[in-house]
Homo-oligomer: A and B are copies of this chain.
C-alpha cells in the first residue's frame, strides 16, 4: 500500500538488512507489536497479525540472531575443537555431532587446533567471546589430550573420542569389546591359532585390544605361541613384514590374524596372497576401524571392527544439548560398543 516502490523481492540485496523497525513502520505499528505478531505472542486482531506478517515477508525480514542471542543469553552455537582435521577418525565423529545439533537449530564452529597450544588457546578464547553454549572436544587418539585445558571455563564441555579431563563427561569407543568381537568371531568359525598384528605400544588401544585378544583365547583354552603377537607401525608395510615373520620361520603357523587396523590387514592380506596362501580358506583376517575405502577394495573385502564413531558423535552432541538445557549429567567415561562388519576375509559364518 506504500505506492509503487519496488518491494525488492528477489532483487539486488539491500545495503542494510531490513530490521523489525522497518517492518513495524511499513505496517504502521510499533516494533513491540511487530515482534509479537511474528512470534505468535501477545494479543492483537488476527487481521493485524497477518498484515504484519505479510509486510515482513514482502520486505524479506530476517530477525537478527545476534540481538536475539544477546537478549536470550543463548547463542545456539557450539564450538567443536579437534586436532584431527585431516584424519578419518574425527570426521565421522564430527558428522554425528553436527547431525545431532542441526536438528536443535544449533550451529557448529569447527576449530582445528593441530597440536599447537597457542592455536588451542586462541580458538577457545574466540569461542568464549562468541558466547558458545558449549564446547565439544574431539581428537584422533583416545590417550592424548588436546593441547588446551578446558576445565572451569564456565560453559558445558563434552569429550568425544579424545582423552578427557578428570571429572568430565566423555564418550569413547570400547576397544576391548571390539577386539573380543573379532577374536570370538574367529573362534566361532573354528579358527584355533589366532595371531594379532597391531600398531605401536605407545597407543593405549594397542594394549586394550591385545589384552582382550589374550583373554578370549584363554577363555577358550587356546594358547598364544611365541611370535603370535606383533607390534609395529600402523602401515601396510608392517603388515607385509608381519606375515613374513609369522610364516617365514619354523614354528607354528596361524590360521587367523586379527589386525589392529585396516591398513595392516590390507598389507597382511596382500602378503598372504603373494605367499600363495588363500584368504580366507588358509588364513582368516579381520581388520579394525572399518575404513570403507580400504576394507572394501581389499581382495577379498575385509571383515572389520567398526567403532560406530558417528553414533558416538551423535551421543556427544545430544548430551551437550542436555547440559546446555541445564539438565544434570553424571560425569564419567561412557564406552560405546563396536560392531563387527562381516565381509569376506574370514570365511563363512558357522551356519553357512
Chain A residues at the B interface, C-beta cutoff of 8 Å: 10-14, 17, 62-67, 69-70, 75-77, 80, 85-86, 91-92, 94-95, 98, 102, 105, 107-112, 119, 122-123, 125-131, 152-155, 235-237, 263, 267, 270, 293, 297
Write out the residue numbers on chain B whose beta carbons fall within 8 Å of the beta carbon of A237.
297
Partner of A63, one of B70, B129, B153, B236: B129
> Secondary structure at chain A's binding surface: helix, strand, loop or mixed?
mixed
**Quick check: A105 and B126 within 8 Å, CB to CB?**
yes
**Quick check: B129 and A62 within 8 Å, CB to CB?**
yes
Total copies of this chain within the assembly: 2
Write out the residue numbers on chain B whose beta carbons fall within 8 Å of the beta carbon of A107.
109, 111, 123, 126-127, 130
Nearest B residue to A130 by beta-carbon distance?
Answer: B65
Write out the residue numbers on chain B whose beta carbons fall within 8 Å of the beta carbon of A12.
152
In addition to A11-B152, A62-B125, A110-B110, 13 A-B residue pairs with Cβ atoms within 8 Å of each other are: A13-B153, A13-B154, A14-B154, A64-B129, A65-B129, A65-B130, A85-B98, A86-B95, A98-B110, A107-B109, A107-B126, A109-B110, A237-B297
- A56 shortest CB reach to chain B, Å: 14
A123 to B11, CA, bound (A): 22
